[in-house]
Amino acid sequence: MKRSTWTLIAPVLASILLVGGQAFAAEEDGYIAIGAGFAMGLAVLGASIGQGNAARGALEGMARNPAVAGTVQTAMLLGLAFIESLVIFTLIIAFFLQGKIG
């Protein structure tokens, strides 16, 4: 498989393996655990793609116009913080869903 294919598949497989034991504890609880695992995997996947694109765009902008490197870097860091906050919100929601299981 190509490396990009593994980049897409690995978070989903890791999520399934992490919640697999709890998924079969009870039928209804298993769906919550699988949903929390998929939510985390998809959030991390989307955020990593978004952060990569943001960093690439900022580096290209700084390479074209080095005079505005400080401004571009500040905007990029602010954007990265917003992207990462979405993953943290997903983690909190996943913990709330896991709390319904036990």
CATH number for position 74: 1.20.20.10
- In tens digits, the chain (102 residues) has pLDDT values of 456 666 767 776 666 666 655 555 555 666 777 777 787 888 888 888 889 999 999 999 999 999 999 999 999 999 999 988 888 888 888 778 777 655
| Residue 60 confidence (pLDDT) | 93
| Residue 87 confidence (pLDDT) | 85
The total number of structural domains in the chain stands at: 1
User: Can you give the residue range of the structural domain that contains 17?
Assistant: 3-101
101 within 8 A of 33, measured Cβ to Cβ:
yes
CA 15/CA 38 separation, integer angstroms: 6
CA 61/CA 15 separation, integer angstroms: 36
Closest by CA to 97, choosing from 45, 22, 17, 44, is 22
Which pTM does this prediction carry? 0.62
